Structure 1
């Protein structure tokens, strides 16, 4: 699905990513773990083209390294950024429809909105409310729902659980597992909640100071003593 080879990103003299290489198979969940400042968000922004990067990014066999953001979105890449970035004065319904702005199938859009509201019933309850009235967890559900309305092939999630109450965290991760298992959407998940991320992921990598420190199956990463000590409380 997506292959990243020798990716390097600099912000001035600061090196954010150094020789990062990884691949994610279609319909799988790949978790990227690491502390703040490790380069996780930079990785996602580079894939979508929001950050200039050197190296190679191949999506469905095509080199998209130099392609503009709009083309990458049209090809099926969607990002749910940290902080959600909703349109606060727009209703839940309007925010969802914005996710489908590139689509030409109104009946399909309506079905997908119904499906998102079925997965997140609170969005149906708040359907005509402005996004500013939502709680943090509700807003995150809306942000993910909006991204799904674009019918992505690759969903990039940046810290979806940050600042959320535990009940919302569980719902968010249940939805992440569902879109991969039931819809075949490939997910690249950046997350500091290591236990939750590894519980739903197929594979994972740990970024440390812009480099991949280690990578492997999610279960083997969870059992690694270094991960247990640094990210799972020993």
Structure 2
């Protein structure tokens, strides 16, 4: 495949499903060689196999983003497989609902921040040097959320982690601008992903909650994963060459109200 990202190497965390899987496919369609990483080896392999079957280049890696040792191993394996890294998409994340602050378990709080925030920090810490080694700069895209900009009750850990990703992005953008590495964040609204579907199954009267969520998006629907992936491809490409430290909101008008 040839396209806007030809001869570039991308690493996508949480690439086995949802936004991550759509991003892997979209990057490969534009010519990137994609390292699909996921906590589930089966999910990562399924996405990589599908990309290869469509004529693209991809390799699957088992990856726990909360583990510095896993980051070091995966980045080394990506270096061995592709010889460089140009694009890092810190996408892996988790959420829980209905966690009131006065009864919020420390275990849940720490797990949420470990995945959503520490995992993004480790991405910069361990993958950044490989991007720099390539000598031609690169693009880091951190997946935050509209909940990193606005709050919702019962989701303090998620909001805190995604808000922190926003500010980590800005700090990294300033630090890495002289290195030619751009760092931007993407803030999706609610998306038709397994993550959102699982949340709706957990809450009482999930169908009513879903309808409420739909109504809160000015476009009257939830996003498709490919629509978020398209924004990520733009930030990965030279078309966004003057963007760094930016917050790209892709929310169907949710935060415009």
Q: Where on the TM-score scale, by shorter chain, does this alignment land: which range? A: 0.3 to 0.5
**TM-score when normalising by structure 1:** 0.37
Higher percent of residues as strand: 1
